Amino acid sequence: MKALSLFANIGVAEAYLDDIGIQVVLANEIDKKRSDVYSYIYPNTELICGDITDECTITNIINRAKTYGVDVIIATPPCQGMSTAGKLEENDVRNELVTYAVRVIAEIKPKYVMLENVPMQLLTKINYNGTMTLIPEYLKKELSEEYLFESKVINTCNYGVPQTRERVIFLLTRKDQENIWKIPQEELKVKTLEDAIGHLPRLDPLINDIDYDEHLRIFPGYEKNREIALAYSSWHTPPSHVYRQVISIMHTPTGQTAFNNIKEQYRPLKKNGEPVHGYKNTYKRQRWDVPAYTITTYNRTISSQNNVHPGRFMGMDKNGDEIYSDPRVLTVYEIMLVMSLPENWNIPRTVSENFIRSVIGEGIPPLFIKKIFKQLI
């Protein structure tokens, strides 16, 4: 089957589609940097870099899709305007981008369509013929004459992905098709963070605001551990953090937040030494025995939500306080495993780590997408 990917990002969703016979022949992405990375990873896909709201761009997408004979459209419009991690502004223009996907669908009339977004899309309204209308109602008004609808809020941890990540999925089947596209049944076995990255050895962070010799005094095995990590992947490199955060997390047990540390000097501190006041899901280590928390676009910071490696008990420090390994966020390689991306996914080394962290945090786990598309084969 031939597919068109709209709002393609760098192609996180389609990482396994070629393996199961779904050929993404055409993709669209507005951002030039993301487009370049997409084309590097998927050199056989024609990538149209441009704004889908621009008439020339959307016309080009439609014409090229017709030329290819596209069977299925994947549309994953930006979710920032609807995400609970954002401002949830009612008039966020990004909420309207789904209308351009609908125009492409209506003109191409593919056999199948997959629309994906955050669950808040179900409660988000857009202007439709002068009336504020819920997006699901808008979709059905525009497309139900031609298509059968299947929709569900899913959690990817119920489909073999070692990460809790909720999404609303719309699967559309053109009414002349015998095979109705269905969301697969949830699986009984849940994959934990231990399953995903528990085999990886200890990796110390780089403390970036102290002398390197002092850094090595704190982490005498740093260089050896770094070398071992690089043997796994060039993206398995030590995250860089400031001293006060590293020391705080070193004394934070698995599954706990540094705000709960008994001694005040090990609780989160500002640069001036004052205590940080924040949510208890920040400065927080993850747990080994459950799926990872949702990977966000801010996965590089200890102070953001649920980003810190679970760590393992190492013993006592010279003051008799418990210390734990890996006082850092997950590496890019670990994030790839948690997102169910291929270990050898061909990301160009010319782009920055922060860029890759951000765009992966916007994606949907490709293992889940693979299982959805297997329903069509």
Q: Who's near 227: CB < 8 A, 6+ residues apart?
A: none
**Rounded CA separation 341/266 (Å):** 35
**Rounded CA separation 178/311 (Å):** 51
The residues facing 113 across adjacent strands are: 73, 172
User: 88: alpha, beta or left, given left = phi > 0 and alpha = psi -120 to 50?
Assistant: left
Candidate list 49, 56, 79, 157, residue with the active-site label? 79
**Rounded CA separation 334/337 (Å):** 5
Examine the residue annotation and report whether 79 is marked as an active-site residue of this protein.
Answer: yes
Active site residues: 79
